[in-house]
Structures are given as structure tokens and as C-alpha cells.
Amino acid sequence: MSPSLDPLWFPHILADILHNTDWQTLLSSRLVSASMLRLVDPMLCGPTLHLQNNTAGTIEAISWGGDLGGDYLSARRVPYFYRNGSKDSRAAAIRKVRDLKLHTDAATEHVNLLLQLLPPHAKIWIEHDKEVFPDRSTATLNTTISLPPCRSLSVAVGSACKCQGAAFNHVAPSVTFYPYDWHYEEEEASGTRSQCALVDGVLNRGVYELHVGTDEGYLPKLFKDVNLQVNPELRVVLLGCEDYWVDDLVKTRSATAKCFNIPESQVTIRGVDFN
């Protein structure tokens, strides 16, 4: 009998060989047979997954830290996240993700369905800012983003985003929020400070802790006219304000408490003791 690469023959031996092979060989092995495809596909996506989608509905997936080991320097594209890729392989990959980073300028129903498959221990990072999409005025949410329970949630948005048109829903009790560069464009801003659906939805009554990564204390301007649904027990931690003058720190703390309608005692600045 001639040698066979079919995993039906000594699958554990073949799996060990594939675990120690290079990326190009893995991709080529997918073309051998359907059974080989089923064996190889789980090896192509590790616990860290980076998804990027756009208004055309295209999804690009990059993963690292999987069965091949390595870090972001060895990141590789995952082939079955393309439009005609295997739905089963995509679902299996999402279910084992520990860290998901989503770069999005347009939520789609397809992406939203994938997000529902994330395990509750996953950490989610949503990137929605100018560093990825220079023309932020074109960003849009055609479909509401609804996140499942997760270990942690981080959201980064650009100041000029005008993606209103849908909604952003989540159930994370703790959120880290990064408003990028909006304070540099204060002169250009007018009317409602935020027109971004992610800003509108980042807070809800289920959020007990909000970490804000910003080097300015202008949260009241960012959330101007936003219909905030704030938990009365919300605690806010401001990051990046350690170098402020004492008077500025006091003003920033007071303005933040007023913005969220909570006592000043529930607002802290990392590295600063007000006692």
C-alpha cells in the first residue's frame, strides 16, 4: 500500500507532524483532502485573533499564539474567514479565542453573528478610530453591535466619528474607554459633542467600573448631549493624568463626577491620592 497523507491513517502521528511544520506546508496540506482540511484548519487560528472588516463586508483575520506558537511577529492570515470560507471552521476558531481585537468602520450582520460565538472568558478590544480609518466621517454602523458576556471590554474611538445609525450594546461590568485625539479638534467640533454610536453605548446601568485612557480631562465635552444611562454605583478611574497640576486634578475630578452625576468619591485618578 502506498503512503497516505490522509489523517484517517494514524491521525495522531500526522497531527504531530503538522504541529511542527511551517505555515506554507500547513496551507498546502489543506488542499490534499477534505479530512486533511478538517485536521489543519483548527491549527491555523490561535487564542489571539484580530478581525478587520469594512463597508464592503470583507473580513480579514490574522491570528497568532496558536498551535504553532509564536507572537504577533509570527501572525498569519486565517484563510477561512474570507467570504467563501468554511462557516464551521470560523465558528470553531471564534469559540476558542481568548483575545479578540476588532477593527471596524462598519458593523455587519455577519460580524455580529461571529461575535455571539465568543466564550465568556474572552477579552474584547474594539478599535474604531482615525489611526485605522483616516476618513472617520465615513464610518457607519449598518447593524447594531451586540456583544455577549466577556471577561473585559476595551473601546477606542476617534473624535470625529459620525457612525450613528445603529446601536452598540454590551453587558460588560467593567469597561476601558480610549477617546483618541478628540481634544485636538475642539475648534472643529460643534453642536453635539459625540455622534458615534460606540460613545453613546459604552455606558449602561450594568457598568460598575469605567477606566478612561486619555491625557486630557475633557470628558464632559466628549459626552455632551449624550443620553447617559449611568449606574449610580459607577466608579471612574482616569488614566494618564498623573502629571497634572494639583488644581487641574481637582477640577478634572469634579467635572468628571458632575458629567456622570456621581459623587466625587467615586472618581479616582491613577497614581493620585486625594486624601
Q: What is the pTM of this model?
A: 0.81
Under a CB-based contact definition with an 8 Å cutoff, are residues 110 and 81 in contact?
A: no
For 33, other C-beta atoms within 10 Å of its C-beta total 15
**Distance of alpha carbon 98 from alpha carbon 120, whole angstroms:** 9
Average pLDDT over residues 33-45: 84
3-state secondary structure of 11: helix
Phi, psi of 13 (to 5 degrees): -70, -45
Q: What integer pLDDT is reported at residue 125 of this predicted model?
A: 92
Average pLDDT over residues 149-158: 89
Read off the pLDDT band of 72 (50, 70, 90).
low
Average per-residue pLDDT for the chain: 77
What are 85's three cell numbers?
470560507
pLDDT for 186 beyond 50: no
Average pLDDT over residues 239-243: 70
